[in-house]
Amino acid sequence: MIILKEAKTKRDLKRFVLFPFSLYRRNKYWVPPIIKDEIANFNPKKNPVFKNADAHFFLAYRGKKIVGRVVAIINWFEVDKQQIKKMRFGWFDVIDDIEVTKTLLDKVNEIGKANNLEYIEGPVGFNNLDKTGVLVDGFEHLGTMITWYNHPYYKDHLEQLGFVKEKEYLENKFMFKNVDAVYYNRISNVIKKRYHLKALDFKKTKQILPYVNEMFEVFDKSYSKLSTYVPISDAQIAYFKKKYISFINPEYIKFVMDKDGKLIAFAIVMPSFSNALRKARGRLFPLGILRLLKAKKHAKDVTFYLIGVHPDYQNKGVTAIIFDQYTKTFSKKGIVNCIRTPELEDNEAIKKIWEDFNPVTHKRRRTYRKNIV
């Protein structure tokens, strides 16, 4: 018999966070989160997303053993302001037993129905800065700190329960040597001269902080037309700044400014922390923090986390300036592989940005949808 328990206490939330550590303990591709950070992410007193969202954390038990987990999420901005009557679910992990999956998702359906919502979609997080999608192809590739990993049977469970594909995401990678540095340097100089633009590089994190709010303004304008977009509040921006900016090597954040000193394009690249996180096993101390700091400076693989161009400058070659900046930095660092975050399969604009680098799709993930009954 499967019993659901809502995780409300600190002890239960820690159990919620630790469940995947046992589920994937023999899997060499799963990348664990930092336990302390994951628990803080679920704390309404620390994560401002809860000002606009409700979340219920459920653990599935068979006897005394945890066999599954899920977060049932309502983003009220999405529901009330955008009139998208969606019930979200995320942080979904289960053993290979469809009855466990059914029990967890029936609870999600129940909450959605009680709130007069129309359909369920997941796995997704609270907003656009969270992880998204269940992995459906590419299980033999190492995960990243900004994506979920899962067993192949997750897809089968969802489809057997009547969920259908909602959105497909591609994860691509390319070798840095495929980037023609001479070409991008030449094009970059032409674009900068034509539109009176300037590239901005950083050496220290404190140099970046004054620009973060302006960066998110560009982010908002760049991504607002995507079907998945939910605006990011000022409080969430401040939370992001505190949580992530210090993790990122400042040399891997690139800005493009106009003649008046206004930010019109940006890119954030993260050094790959995957191997460091696997060795840390979810803990910063005693050695985890040292491994992360080493990866921050010396990792040979990088992940393109965010890239945005103000609509007024889209399709004008501005990304050439960003890539020119990165070729100079990556050459010094000896970067080998460039990995991209999940991108919507039908996002043709983003495909054009990368097409010259001979990208290879190594993973696919998708969200699933089902009407609430």
Please report, for the domain that includes residue 245, its CATH number: 3.40.630.30
The mean pLDDT value of the chain amounts to 94
Average pLDDT over residues 167-192: 96
Percent of the chain with pLDDT over 70: 99
Q: How many CA atoms, within 13 angstroms, populate the side-chain half-sphere of residue 29?
A: 15
pLDDT tens string 187-240: 999 999 999 999 999 999 999 989 999 999 999 888 877 766 777 888 888 888
**Assigned domain for 313 exists:** yes
- Shared-domain flag, residues 207 and 137: no
- Shared-domain flag, residues 207 and 347: yes
Of 119, 152, 169, the residue that ends a domain is: 169
- Shared-domain flag, residues 216 and 326: yes
pLDDT on residue 218: 94
pLDDT on residue 3: 98
Of 169, 189, 204, the residue that ends a domain is: 169
- Could you tell me the CA-to-CA distances from 138 to 134, 141, 150, 336 in Å, in that order? 11, 6, 10, 20
Average pLDDT over residues 45-74: 96
In angstroms, the CA 29 to CA 143 distance is: 6
Average pLDDT over residues 39-63: 95
Element of type H or E holding 366: strand 360-371
Confidence label for 243 from pLDDT (cuts 50, 70 and 90): confident
**Assigned domain for 36 exists:** yes
Least-confidence region, from 63-72, 89-98, 229-238, 289-298: 229-238
**Assigned domain for 372 exists:** no
pLDDT on residue 227: 63
pLDDT tens string 262-300: 999 999 999 999 999 999 999 999 899 999 999 999 999
**Assigned domain for 373 exists:** no
pLDDT on residue 330: 97
- Shared-domain flag, residues 304 and 240: yes
Least-confidence region, from 31-40, 222-231, 341-350, 352-361: 222-231
Of the two residues 62 and 346, the one the predictor is more confident about is: 62
pLDDT on residue 245: 80
Confidence label for 179 from pLDDT (cuts 50, 70 and 90): very high
- Shared-domain flag, residues 218 and 263: yes
- Shared-domain flag, residues 86 and 62: yes
- Tell me the DSSP string of 54-73: EEEEEEEEETTEEEEEEEEE
**Assigned domain for 371 exists:** no
pLDDT on residue 231: 78
Confidence label for 242 from pLDDT (cuts 50, 70 and 90): confident
- Shared-domain flag, residues 15 and 69: yes
**Assigned domain for 321 exists:** yes
- Is residue 123's pLDDT more than 90? yes
Per the structure, the complete domain to which residue 51 belongs is given by: 2-169
- Is residue 66's pLDDT more than 80? yes
Per the structure, how many domains does the chain have?
Answer: 2
pLDDT on residue 228: 66
- Shared-domain flag, residues 111 and 8: yes
**Assigned domain for 250 exists:** yes
- Shared-domain flag, residues 92 and 137: yes
- Shared-domain flag, residues 160 and 273: no
- Shared-domain flag, residues 278 and 353: yes
**Assigned domain for 278 exists:** yes
Find all residues with CB under 8 Å of 160, minimum gap 6, and list them. 98
pLDDT tens string 305-335: 999 999 999 999 999 999 999 999 999 999 9
In angstroms, the CA 75 to CA 230 distance is: 9
pLDDT on residue 366: 98
Of 169, 188, 217, the residue that ends a domain is: 169
pLDDT on residue 235: 87
In angstroms, the CA 182 to CA 327 distance is: 9
In angstroms, the CA 173 to CA 303 distance is: 9
- Shared-domain flag, residues 61 and 111: yes
